[in-house]
């Protein structure tokens, strides 16, 4: 676990990993996040293939830990915004579909959460998506992880985690402490 400092408070990154996924043909482990480190280029068919999309669910506990940390350390409320969720005006259909919330799960927080600072200001929207990723929106800005889930893009869990941590840090920088 890594400790990260966000505007004076300390957040501990949860221990999460992608899990063990195997190539369906060879049975060999797939080193997600490191597949192209050897200098090889992705094969052309990997740009149109998505193998093991559930591997990205590993980012959900990171988003949950960030929300829990903000609510605990900052004067903020956590609201279930699933029923009122709508994609932003003008969102292309393919992006709206990619960003659609996951279904409700037993023993899990709601798929769409709105984290609002006490005293006003832009709220942070956190969406666990049906495509196994996370979308965060705040003050007209948006971040999505993974950016792409094709086999060629091969995003690492550490890189996706850093993107979410940086985005949340920027969002709550001037929010009051609890």
Q: Span 138-163, mean pLDDT? A: 92
pLDDT score of 6 more than 70: no
Confidence at 7, pLDDT banded by 50, 70, 90: very low
**Residue 9, pLDDT score:** 64
Query: HEC string of the chain?
Result: CCEEEECCEEEECCCCCCCCCECCCCCCECCCCCCCCCCCCCCHHHHHCCCCHHHHHHHHHHHHHHHHHHHHHECEEEEECCCCCCCCCCCCHHHHHHCCECCCCCCCCCCEEEEEECCCCCCEEEEEECCCCEEEEECCEEEEECCCCCCCCCCCHHHHHHHHHHHHHHHHCCCCEC
Alpha carbons 20 and 32: distance in angstroms, whole number: 9
In a domain, 87, yes or no: yes
Least confident of 5-9, 14-18, 104-108: 5-9
Provide the domain count of the chain. Answer: 1
**Residue 132, pLDDT score:** 92
In a domain, 177, yes or no: no
**Residue 145, pLDDT score:** 96
73: left (phi over 0), alpha (psi -120 to 50) or beta: alpha
Alpha carbons 17 and 11: distance in angstroms, whole number: 18
In a domain, 178, yes or no: no
In a domain, 91, yes or no: yes
In a domain, 89, yes or no: yes
Q: What is the pTM of this model?
A: 0.89
Quick: pLDDT tens for 52-109: 899 999 999 999 999 999 999 888 999 999 999 999 889 899 888 888 999 999 999 9
**Residue 11, pLDDT score:** 82
pLDDT score of 1 more than 70: no
Range of the domain at 133: 3-172
In a domain, 160, yes or no: yes
**Length of the chain, please?**
178
In a domain, 168, yes or no: yes
In a domain, 116, yes or no: yes
């Amino acid at each position: 676990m890594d400790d990260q400092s966000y505007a004076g408070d300390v957040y501990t990154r949860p221990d999460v990993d992608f899990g063990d996924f195997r190539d369906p043909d060879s049975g060999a482990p797939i080193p997600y996040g490191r597949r192209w480190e050897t200098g090889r280029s992705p094969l052309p068919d990997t740009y149109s293939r998505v193998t093991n999309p559930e591997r990205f669910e590993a980012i959900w506990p990171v988003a949950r830990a960030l929300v829990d940390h903000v609510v605990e350390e900052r004067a903020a409320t956590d609201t279930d915004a699933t029923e009122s969720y709508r994609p932003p005006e003008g969102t292309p259909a393919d992006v709206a579909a990619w960003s659609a919330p996951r279904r409700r799960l037993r023993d899990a927080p709601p798929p769409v959460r709105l984290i609002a600072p006490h005293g006003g200001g832009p709220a942070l929207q956190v969406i666990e998506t049906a495509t196994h990723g996370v979308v965060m929106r705040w003050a007209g800005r948006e971040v999505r992880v993974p950016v792409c889930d094709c086999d060629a893009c091969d995003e690492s869990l550490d890189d996706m985690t850093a993107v979410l941590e940086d985005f949340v840090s920027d969002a709550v920088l001037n929010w009051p402490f609890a």
